[in-house]
Amino acid sequence: MMRSFLIMKNSFLSLRDITVIYKNPRGEDLFALNQINLDVMKGEYVAILGPSGSGKTTLSNIIGLLLNSYQGDYIFNGKVLKHLNLQQQVSLRSSEIGFIFQDYILLDHLTALENVAIALQFHHLSKKNIFELVS
């Protein structure tokens, strides 16, 4: 069974009637998600489980602001997110949403410590402060 995990950092989210439709090769509608509703409370941990092809990655990508082509409402800390611009999405993702990937997504030419430190660079910390945090 494949798994995707998200950690919400002191936040609240609500998904209402989230639907994602793709077209199959014959032009017919294929529902990746069909009217999904989900509430995650502050401090709550959620694991999205299901068989391959059940929509876990699609749902995770919506929650993580990586997919915007959906119908329905995504409310995060009381704010509807559907119409955020790219910079607003990046800012929210970097400050409020953490990902734990199923596969190790590491850069081979970096050490484990350097791979962890990469994410902290987006918080405009000095290299010295970054390595103090991860050491």
Residue 11's pLDDT is what?
54
Q: Which of 1, 17, 8 is nearest to 56 (CA)?
A: 1
Q: Is the pLDDT of residue 4 over 60?
A: no
Whether the CB-CB separation of 113 and 131 falls below 8 Å is answered with: yes
pLDDT in tens, 32-59: 999 999 988 888 888 888 998 899 989 9
Q: Which of residues 93 and 124 earns the better pLDDT score?
A: 93
CB atoms closer than 10 angstroms to residue 101: 10
Query: 3-state class of 123 per DSSP?
Result: coil
Q: Report in angstroms the alpha-carbon separations of 51 from 27, 115, 123.
A: 25, 30, 36
- What's the longest Cα–Cα distance across the chain? 55
Q: Is the pLDDT of residue 104 over 70?
A: no
Mean pLDDT of 79-103: 81
Residues in the chain: 135
Residue 5's pLDDT is what?
46
Q: Is the pLDDT of residue 115 over 80?
A: no
